[in-house]
Amino acid sequence: IDNRETWGKKIDFLLSVIGFAVDLANVWRFPYLCYKNGGGAFLIPYILFLFIAGMPLFYMELALGQYNREGAATVWKICPVFKGVGYTVILIALYVGFYYNVIIAWSLHYLFSSMTTELPWLKCGNSWNSVNCTEFNGSLPDNSTSYAKNKNTPAAEYYERGVLNLHESSGIEDLGWPRWQLVLCLVVVVFILYFSLWKGVKSSGKVQPWINKHGMIVWTDAATQIFYSLGAGFGVLIAFSSYNKFDNNCYRDALLTSTVNCVTSFFSGFAIFSVLGYMAKKHGVKVENVATEGAGLVFIIYPEAISTLPGSTFWAIVFFIMLLTLGIDSAMGGMEAVITGLSDDFKILKRNRKLFTFATAFGTFLFALLCVTNGGMYVLTLLDRHAAGTSILFGVLIEAIGVSWFYGVDRFSEDIERMMGFKPGLYWRLCWKYVSPAFLLFVVIASLTSSDLSYDNYVFPEWANQIGWGVALSSMLMVPSYAMYKFCSLSGTFRERIAYCITPEHEHHMVAEGKVRQFKLRHWLAI
């Protein structure tokens, strides 16, 4: 086929894909969404979406990368007009790297801080504590707000004042200077990423009431969670699978890795809620008063629970090492998508992989500095909402349409048969062509109706929302801009240009002969 490098061992590929798919969202988002949307009832839309969209698209990306042996942009030699979506997902992976590495840096900061006999977030009276800091050893006063929102516990103050220095910023317009402790942690994270990736893939695998007025929210929550959690659409699965051997059984890989990912989510749900239950009992409040999602869960509630255990230092070290490993391999996946995607497209980057990897790592480090300032949490919240929100769903929608409708499900199925000796069943073909795109369209539209951006009681100014949408649009606009560029750069009649745009590159000679299968109705009806 070609001299593209392949994975050293099959297990390296599987561990890399699982490592990318199983990330912090499994720990801090899934359990809370389950709880917020009616517990067990949430699993119905979750499992439904896993089967009709999550798994089919996961399988599609693995097969696409493996058959064409290209990164996220050049894989579109199968339908040149769609190459822009490759740049969309590469940009999204890059944007996510800007803030995701910062969360890993916090974990590293906590890991270093845990190496003491008494954990620093156990008591008040430290240099970072405010006069309002209160230690609750028993139950809370009756009139207090929910425990999770209480900003004056030692653990909450350690996170917001000791680590982030958030109290010295009045909002996103007042960032201040980067915190040197976090900058050092960020440098360590970026170095780990660089040394894991500079050689290429040989080195990377080693390291209840749910239909009510909130019905819509439950369904969109379930849909976006499946997506983020499996990681389709970041260009990572295409990049990883492009290094597989040609006849590798990626069907089995898709089923195995997506199952492992969801089982991990369930398992972490049990672990998280046993801790939340323990905290609720300790403070004499209901579970909903301690339940929270995101950074507050893993950097405030969990560390506080750990600090009350016997041998707390040991458990804190183990917990933060777990967060580090969960974060690092997902960050590696994102960066590999950028590097493979662009170096397959621009051969000069491929020849200078070490230098290009360094430039990418250093670039993400510079942007990430905005997120480690006093007001960095506001920048991080903005990026977290907009960098990979609507844009990632849009990217996968275009990808699904490009493969299933323009390239053709029948042709894609023949490619899979060439690799593995069997065609995908009717179920997969129907999902690829009709069910998944329809479902994605619904989720994209639902994600546009999101509320204003806020962090706790701070509501972001209008200009910040506009910057956020600007970030989201910058990646999405790659699709129409590249399509227009491609069309205008071709010569010939209007009909010929269209034909060249939507015909796979290896069949361009057929356009000259007037044999364009996309101009026949049979192509669009095939399944």
Say whether 384 counts as a known binding-site residue: no
Say whether 526 counts as a known binding-site residue: no
DSSP one-letter string for 258-317: HHHHHHHHHHHHHHHHHHHHHHHHHHT--GGGT---THHIIIIIHHHHHHTSTTHHHHHH
Say whether 113 counts as a known binding-site residue: no
DSSP 171: B
Query: Which phi and psi angles does 340 have, rounded to 5°?
Result: -65, -45
CB atoms within 10 A of CB 10: 15
Say whether 229 counts as a known binding-site residue: yes
Alpha-carbon span 292 to 294, nearest angstrom: 7
Say whether 41 counts as a known binding-site residue: no
Query: Which phi and psi angles does 458 have, rounded to 5°?
Result: -85, 125
* Residues facing residue 459 across a β-bridge: 454
Task: State how far the alpha carbon of 18 is from the alpha carbons of 6, 12, 261, 264, in Å.
Answer: 18, 10, 7, 10
Task: State how far the alpha carbon of 118 is from the alpha carbons of 114, 162, 174, 297, 312, in Å.
Answer: 8, 16, 34, 21, 8
Which residues of 432-473 form beta strands (DSSP E)?
A: 454-455, 458-459
Say whether 119 counts as a known binding-site residue: no
Query: Which phi and psi angles does 140 have, rounded to 5°?
Result: -80, 155
Q: Are 297 and 276 in contact (CB under 8 A)?
A: no
Say whether 143 counts as a known binding-site residue: no
CB atoms within 10 A of CB 220: 19
Q: Which residues contact 201 (CB under 8 A, 6 or more apart)?
A: 5, 6, 7, 12, 16, 240, 243, 336
Say whether 53 counts as a known binding-site residue: no
Say whether 204 counts as a known binding-site residue: no
* Residues in binding site for Na(+): 19, 21-22, 26, 229, 261, 326, 329-330
* Residues in binding site: 19, 21-22, 26, 229, 261, 326, 329-330
